[in-house]
Amino acid sequence: MAMTLTLDQILAALEKTDTLDGLQTATEALRTFLGVAHIVYHWVDSAGDQYGCGTYSPEWRSRYLDQNYLRVDPVVSGCFQRFHPVDWKRLDWSSKAARALLTEAIDHGVGNQGFTVPIRGPNGQFALFTVNDNCTDDAWQAFTQANRRDLILIAHYFNQKALEFEPGRTPEVAQALSPREIDAMTLLAIGYNRAQVADSLSISEHTLRVYIESARFKLGAMNTTHAVARALSRGLIVV
Amino acid sequence: MAMTLTLDQILAALEKTDTLDGLQTATEALRTFLGVAHIVYHWVDSAGDQYGCGTYSPEWRSRYLDQNYLRVDPVVSGCFQRFHPVDWKRLDWSSKAARALLTEAIDHGVGNQGFTVPIRGPNGQFALFTVNDNCTDDAWQAFTQANRRDLILIAHYFNQKALEFEPGRTPEVAQALSPREIDAMTLLAIGYNRAQVADSLSISEHTLRVYIESARFKLGAMNTTHAVARALSRGLIVV
DNA sequence: TTCCAACTCCCCAATTATGGTGAGGCCCCG
DNA sequence: CGGGGCCTCACCATAATTGGGGAGTTGGAA
């Protein structure tokens, strides 16, 4: 079968997709198009849920979830700290857990080469788009250099599509924090206690409490630490 | 002068840029290349700091900063809640302040059409990449449709460059937390109090305290909330 | 104009977190 | 085989946070 698929066609197909299964199909098509072993789109959810579509074997996928490899995967933590796409070779595999993960992944047919594009959306949404293959370093570098831009674009479109499917993504957005609440959360996040925060904001500690409590309410948080964590992971404050 | 500039050349120039002025130059070149009135890259910092390079008039730029228009600009708030690029016409201009802003912007030569790409980086970094022009709706739609992908890519490269200039963005190598410390931080970040965390981990609350304190020490944090915030923003835990 | 959200201030009592100190067992690496 | 990090447990006293009340001002939106 001749290769007639183009990037344009794939992106157009993505735009027309109206089910999650559509993403799965697009992923398969993409693999053929790019000529790599695997393509994975992986949404790392703030609630610890994960959604992904891709071409990894079901065994590996469930193994990854069961073992909570998310916690030790250098691809996840490495990409979380970076903006630009990353070649797996450039990540930190020094920890034993990480090396064990890699070995096991290769055993599951993941391939020895990988390239992952981090993607971020509103409310601290974070996702990964990965391609990988089994080949030499040189071949892989040539591939990633040649396709870098397309991969960035594809990752972008995948995420856009995935966000459209996300249920209840919009309602939470409405609850923005007021300026004072943001101030309070920010100062708490940098380690100030209530007395220090109140002092920094030149308000009474009593007033501060009102802000903290209303922020907690808006964020659906059970306590201050929770509220700050949510504000952070939703990108409402930055430290 | 013939138009010989290509997207490749601009992106290559961006990659070679090694000063902030370089971004300014690239912005100007880009305007010529795309044939629009203005190009602006705008980094919106949560602390209220803003960095931008672009082709808006200095008057408008300082006016925008002085008046703290960031707080009322529908482009900013609208893009903050979206993942995909946005045409200014699709934003919410219903508030009086927003309409006043738009009128004033047009008076300052900003143009009646705009298209903005939101971009997000690690640690909640948020930036905008905007093109705008003075033309009809039809012409503008044709332009944005034709250049959408390039604009996404350019925005991406601009942000990558800008992040490289950011001081202290590649800070001390985050000291890793032990598995138990990660457990503790994670459970605290999802709102559990110490009793609940200890219960979840099936350890005594006394033991838990040891983890929290050692995590706090490793993270250089002043209190639990601070420690959780740091663990989150360093990507050591994902909530 | 009227309403609402945001900002500001206050008390009391109960609950929770923290600081300081100490100690035993386990496993890995040099 | 010893040092170091990790996991586990405990007490005491103090500091900090939280829950549940109530109340007045202001500025923008319907």
pLDDT tens string B166-212: 765 545 455 678 888 988 999 999 999 999 999 999 999 999 999 99
Backbone angles phi, psi at A211, to 5 degrees: -65, -45
Average pLDDT over residues B213-228: 92
pLDDT digits (tens, 9 = 90+) for A109-161: 999 999 999 999 988 889 999 999 999 999 999 999 999 999 999 999 999 99
Q: Say which CATH class B179-233 falls into.
A: mainly alpha
Q: Which CATH architecture has domain A7-165?
A: 2-Layer Sandwich (3.30)
* Interface predicted TM-score of the whole assembly (ipTM), two decimals: 0.83
Question: Lowest mean pLDDT: which of A220-234, B41-55, B153-167?
Answer: B41-55
Around Cβ A233, how many Cβ atoms within 10 Å? 22
Q: Which residue of B has its CA nearest to A122?
A: B81
Ranges of CATH 1.10.10.10 domains, chain A = 175-233
Q: Which residue of B has its CA nearest to A190?
A: B226
Q: Is there a contact between A121 and B124 if contact means CB atoms under 8 Å apart?
A: no
Residue A181 Cβ under 7 A from any strand C atom = yes
Around Cβ A24, how many Cβ atoms within 10 Å? 16
Residues of B in contact with A196 (CB under 8 A): none
pLDDT for position B1: 44
Q: Is there a contact between B239 and A228 if contact means CB atoms under 8 Å apart?
A: no
Q: A65 or B228: whose pLDDT is higher? A: B228
- In three-state form (DSSP H/G/I as H, E/B as E, the rest C), the secondary structure along A67-78 is CCHHHCCHHHHH
* CA of residue B94 to C1' of nucleotide D30, angstroms: 13
pLDDT for position A4: 61
Q: Is the pLDDT of residue B32 over 60?
A: yes
Q: Which CATH architecture has domain A175-233?
A: Orthogonal Bundle (1.10)
Q: Is B56 left (phi over 0), alpha (psi -120 to 50) or beta?
A: beta
Ranges of CATH 3.30.450.80 domains, chain A = 7-165
- Give residue B107's identity as a one-letter amino acid code: D
Residues of B in contact with A81 (CB under 8 A): 122, 174, 234-235
Residue B203: which nucleotide is closest by CA–C1'?
Answer: D8
* CA of residue B166 to C1' of nucleotide C19, angstroms: 38
pLDDT for position A88: 95
Q: State what percent of residues in chain B have pLDDT above 90.
A: 53
pLDDT for position A104: 87
Question: pLDDT category, A169, cuts 50, 70, 90?
Answer: low
Interface test with B, best of A83, A172, A224, A230 (most B CBs within 10 A): A83
Q: Is the pLDDT of residue A187 over 50?
A: yes
Q: Is there a contact between B191 and A221 if contact means CB atoms under 8 Å apart?
A: yes
pLDDT for position B174: 57
Distances (CA, A) of B119 to A126, B7, B63, B76, B84: 13, 19, 24, 11, 9
pLDDT for position B134: 95
- Give residue B117's identity as a one-letter amino acid code: V
pLDDT for position B49: 66
CA distance B130 to A97: 43
pLDDT digits (tens, 9 = 90+) for A192-236: 999 999 999 999 999 999 999 999 998 889 999 999 999 998 888
Q: Is there a contact between A191 and B149 if contact means CB atoms under 8 Å apart?
A: no
pLDDT digits (tens, 9 = 90+) for A71-103: 778 898 889 889 999 999 998 887 777 888 888
Q: Is there a contact between A232 and B235 if contact means CB atoms under 8 Å apart?
A: no
CA angle A133, A134, A137 (to 5 degrees): 95
Nearest-CA residue relative to C1' of D18: A223
pLDDT digits (tens, 9 = 90+) for B141-152: 999 999 999 999
CA distance A137 to A150: 20
Among candidates A39, A118, A101, which has minimal Cα distance to B238?
A118
Distances (CA, A) of A126 to A180, B137, B140: 27, 34, 31
